[in-house]
Amino acid sequence: MSKELTVNLVSADKPIWSGNASMVVAKTAEGEIGLLAGHEPMLAILAPGMIKITPTEGPAVVAESLDGGFLSIERDVVMVVVRNASLVS
């Protein structure tokens, strides 16, 4: 089991952020979820709100999703697809 995640955050028309991270936190239709390396595969519907990525190096990346989207994780690869989002920090 690796100790980091590969994260891709994309909107309908462009990539927003990609890289390695230790954790991803997002608001789903079922509530807030935190993803770490080794998480079992899943697919979730995102609710509008913040997506926080903790990179393995550097400051936290925060994006605001205005319209929701979906999130998937499998084999420590996280794909976050949103209709519309912008980086906050």
Dihedrals phi, psi of 19, to nearest 5 degrees: 160, -170
The range of the structural domain enclosing residue 61 comes to: 5-87
What digits encode the pLDDT tens for the residues 51-77?
Answer: 999 999 999 999 998 888 999 999 999
**H or E element at residue 50:** strand 42-55
Q: Is the pLDDT of residue 33 over 70?
A: yes
Domain count, the chain: 1
pLDDT digits (tens, 9 = 90+) for 34-50: 999 999 999 999 999 99
Residue 17, domain CATH: 2.60.15.10
**What pLDDT score was predicted for residue 48?**
94
Task: Give the Cα separation of 84 and 72 in Å (integer).
Answer: 17
